[in-house]
Structure 1
Amino acid sequence: MSVTIAEELLLLAHSDDQGKSLINAMQLDPALAGALLAELAVHERLELSDKKVTVKDASPTGDAELDAVLTRVAGQARSRSPLWWIQKLQSGGTRRRLLTRLVASGVLTEERGKVLGVFPVTRWPEAHHGVEADVRERVSAVLAGATPDARTAVLIALTHAVHLTRKAFPDADKARVKEIAEGAWAADAVAKSIAAATSAAMTAVLAATVVTAAS
């Protein structure tokens, strides 16, 4: 079953049994936006630096969510930074669409209820563990020393950026996680793009936290 990096991140960010999010929306939504940008870099559609996102190839990837982002970036008259794009793309709507896709593909189920009989809540427990099991196997192998592919490097970098690693992989070696997150696994343009997306996601999380604390 083919899923995007953002969907893999969602699986890691929710508990298997109860479907509760392990991190808050201020952390998760920028990470998902970063995952979409990074995956377009993996597909060689975008190239990211600290200061700008450049379209290398505007042809569709075949995934509706990725192609919607690619179209928006290609249609922007001025070059914008990864942080600018993450702040534009992050939303509860993006998160909801990706979760709904996982439900439609049979990976998750959607359960609605109320807390204290009053406050509505939606949870996303797993229906099929095979997809997340494959993701965890890939990530665990890299954290144990295997050379990462670009997709797995994105996942590790983003989980590190939003403090999900210690919850999803509590026994992970911190030095190894940091090595992957900083792009030390490769020196090509894709690795640099992943590092730029990750840095921007982390900055977006910090900015949202500061705004919330000040309000």
Structure 2
Amino acid sequence: MSVTIAEEILLLAFGEDDGRQLLSTIQLDPAVAGALLAELAISERITLRDKKVTVLDPAPLGDDELDAALARIAGSPKERGPAWWVQQLQSGKLRTRLLTRLAAAGVLAEERGRVFGIFRTTRWPELDGSVESRVRERVAGALGGAEPDPRTAVLIAVMHAAKLDRKAFPGADKGRVKEIAAGAWEAEAVAQTIAAINAGISIAVTTAAITATG
């Protein structure tokens, strides 16, 4: 099946067998939002002009979440920077919608329970591991020296910004990860947009962490 980059992030961010979340929500939610923006960028729907996200083409891509994000950006009365949009788009509801969509497609199972009989919890173990396996093959190939396609490069860049690469690919060469994240992109405008989105993810993660500990 076809999945978005945001869904690929989620597949890598949950344990295959136990369905436990490998990253804190503080790290994961900005990564999911950033992945939506990054996919809009490589799909030539948005770009960065004067450090602001600008819509190039408002035509829908045919995915509910991507199209909703694009419509929200296009309908904004004021152009904003990537960090602002990462903050606006990230939410637990977005994460849950994407996970539920993966469960509905038979990729994940949704297992609800309680911790200590009190606190509600949901785990998302894999039902069909073939989808994540293909994602891992692409990433492993790129980390091993193969030239990554734009989607794989974006995935690695977003993982690196959220520090998910350390959890999902603990043995990966850090230099190679940074090299791909820095990116030899096809267009300079895309390179600048992806870099700005990744900076926005990092800002969101840092801000949330400071707020949580303040």
Give the TM-score taking structure 2 as reference length.
0.96
Write the distance in 1 (CA, Å) between the matches of 2:48 and 2:38: 8
Residue matched to 1:11: 11
Percent identity (aligned): 61
Q: Distance in 2 between matches of 1:162 and 1:23?
A: 9
- Following superposition, the deviation at residue 49 of structure 1 comes to 5.7
Structure 1 residue aligned with 2:27: 27
Question: Which residue in 2 is equivalent to 1:155?
Answer: 155
Query: 1:178: which partner in 2?
Result: 178
1:123 aligns with 2:112: no
Q: Secondary structure at the match of 2:125?
A: coil
SS at match of 2:11: helix
Q: Secondary structure at the match of 2:122?
A: strand
Match for residue 206 of structure 2? 206
Please identify, of 197-206 and 181-190, the stretch whose mean Cα deviation from structure 2 is larger.
181-190
User: Structure 1 residue 165 and structure 2 residue 183: aligned?
Assistant: no
> Quick check: 191-200 or 136-145, which moved more?
191-200
Q: What TM-score do you get using the length of structure 1 for normalisation?
A: 0.96
Could you list the per-position Cα deviations for residues 49-77 of structure 1 after superposition, in whole angstroms to 9, with x for gaps in the alignment?
Answer: 68210100000100010000000000011
Contact 2:150/2:185 (8 A) holds in 1: no
Whichever residue aligns with residue 195 of structure 1, its letter is: A
Residue range with higher mean Cα deviation, 102-111 or 144-153: 144-153
- 1:18-40 superposed Cα distances (whole Å, 9 cap, x missing partner): 10010011100000000000000
Whole-angstrom CA distance in 2 between matches of 1:125 and 1:192:
36
Q: CA deviation at 1:211?
A: 1.4
1:45 aligns to 2:34 (yes or no): no
Structure 1 residue 199: deviation in Å?
A: 1.3
For this pair of structures, how many residues does the alignment match?
214
Structure 1 stretches of 5 or more lacking a match?
A: none
2: distance between equivalents of 1:194 and 1:100? 27
How far apart in 2 are the matches of 1:96 and 1:89? 13
* Counterpart Cα distance in 2 of 1:149 and 1:19: 28
Q: Deviations over 1:139-191 (max 9, x none)?
A: 00000111111111111111111111111001100001011112245553223
Paired AA for residue 166 in structure 1: R
Deviates more, 1:163-172 or 1:120-129: 163-172
Alpha-carbon separation, structure 1, partners of 2:185 and 2:172: 17
| RMSD, aligned CA | 1.2
Contact 1:49 1:82 in 2 (8 A): no
Q: Which amino acid aligns with 2:165?
A: T
Measure the CA separation in 2 of the matches of 1:40 and 1:91: 18
User: Which residue identity does 1:73 align to in structure 2?
Assistant: I
